[in-house]
């Protein structure tokens, strides 16, 4: 594995381009946070690293496109994974809004497939989705996800997704309705979930 410069830096992690057994790969490293007590900080980084790798694999088993995990290093709090070639959905929707409907149909299906398998993503936004070169949606950044997710967790996923659309893509409300339609068509027992989302939205209005 040869280290190169970081290609992305988020709130909790840095992403570096690398190679793994000759394959094009990325390594996601969770850096220490000084504002956390050191023992607790290691625990959180370790939990999120393991959780993310586990959820990425579980999601793939559920038929949702996610990066292949090549390696986990709990001393470095890092995950080496497949480098997904493509465009971040957030950028794609900004650059090419006419592609929004087709993309939103795929996002709705991917979210429903995930939820039908009892998995919630935990940070379902258009920044955590990549449109692959072969035109599929790949989900990334599962560190806040859960298996055995409850209705509440799934409702929060969809609520956050809606909020991320309203703030990042305010002109795409029709495409978002299309997303919810394809979600509802794919999701088992969608009525319960739709009621839960309304309840969550209601809470937001009165707090
Ligand atoms: N497997 C991957 N293939 C291609 N690009 C990726 C991959 N993983 C991450 N990226 C790129 O790096 C960016 C940051 O990655 P990610 O969303 O996983 O981290 P983060 O938001 O910093 O993490 P966290 O929220 O867990 O602290 C992504 O928005 C994406 O552009
Ligand atoms: Mg992210």
The model's confidence at residue 10, banded by pLDDT at 50, 70 and 90, is: confident
Whether residue 104 is found in the same domain as residue 72: no
Minimal-distance CA residue to ligand 1 atom 12: 8
Task: Please check whether residues 66 and 145 belong to one and the same domain.
Answer: no
Distances, alpha carbon 191 to alpha carbons 15, 32, 159, 188, in Å: 39, 42, 15, 9
Q: Which residue among the candidates 123, 141, 153, 157 is catalytic per the annotation?
A: 123
Angle at 27 between CA 107 and CA 138, to 5 degrees: 10
CB–CB of 169/93 below 8 Å? yes
- Same domain, yes or no, for 182 and 123? yes
Mean pLDDT computed over 133-160: 97
- 145 CA distance to ligand 1 centroid (A)? 14
Tell me, yes or no, whether 101 and 16 share the same domain. Answer: no
What's the DSSP call for residue 124?
-
- CATH number for 76: 3.30.200.20
Q: Of 66, 82, 98, which residue is a domain's last?
A: 82
Q: Is residue 1 part of a domain?
A: no
Which pLDDT score, from 0 to 100, does residue 1 have? Answer: 47
**Domain-terminating residue out of 28, 47, 82:** 82
**pLDDT exceeds 90 at position 204:** no
**What pLDDT digit, counting tens, does each position of 64-107 carry?**
999 999 999 999 999 999 999 999 999 999 999 999 999 999 99
Range of the domain at 190: 86-206
27: pLDDT strictly greater than 80: yes
The vertex-100 CA angle with 96 and 104, nearest 5°, equals: 150
Is the shortest distance between the CB of 153 and ligand 1 below 6 Å?
no
Is the same domain home to 76 and 93? no
Answer with the residue of higher pLDDT: 12 or 63: 63
Please tell me the total count of domains within the chain. Answer: 2
Residues 109 and 26 in one domain: no
Q: What pLDDT digit, counting tens, does each position of 40-67 carry?
A: 999 999 999 999 999 999 999 999 999 9
- SS percent in the chain: helix, strand, coil, step 5: 50, 20, 30
Beta strands in the chain (DSSP E): 6-9, 13-20, 23-30, 69-73, 78-82, 86-88, 129-132, 137-139
Of 82, 104, 126, which marks where a domain is finished? Answer: 82
Would the pTM of this model clear 0.75, i.e. be above it?
yes
Q: Catalytic: 24?
A: no
């Amino acid at each position: 594995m040869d280290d190169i410069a970081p290609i992305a830096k988020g709130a909790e992690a840095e992403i570096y381009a690398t190679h793994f057994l000759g394959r094009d790969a990325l390594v996601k490293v969770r850096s220490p946070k000084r504002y956390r007590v050191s023992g607790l900080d290691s625990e959180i980084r370790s939990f999120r690293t393991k959780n993310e790798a586990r959820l990425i694999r579980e999601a793939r088993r559920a038929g949702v496109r996610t990066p292949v995990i090549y390696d986990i290093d709990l001393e470095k709090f890092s995950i080496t994974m497949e480098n997904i070639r493509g465009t971040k959905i957030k950028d794609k929707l900004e650059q090419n809004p006419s592609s929004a409907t087709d993309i939103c149909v795929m996002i709705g299906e991917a979210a429903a497939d995930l939820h039908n398998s009892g998995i919630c993503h935990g940070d379902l936004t258009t920044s955590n989705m990549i449109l692959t070169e072969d035109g599929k949606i790949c989900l990334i950044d599962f560190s806040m996800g859960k298996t055995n997710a409850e209705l509440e967790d799934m409702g929060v996923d969809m609520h956050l997704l809606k909020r991320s659309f309203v703030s990042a893509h305010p002109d795409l409300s029709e495409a978002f309705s299309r997303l919810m339609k394809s979600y509802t068509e794919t999701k088992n027992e969608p009525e319960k979930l739709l009621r839960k989302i309304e309840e969550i939205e209601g809470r937001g209005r009165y707090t």
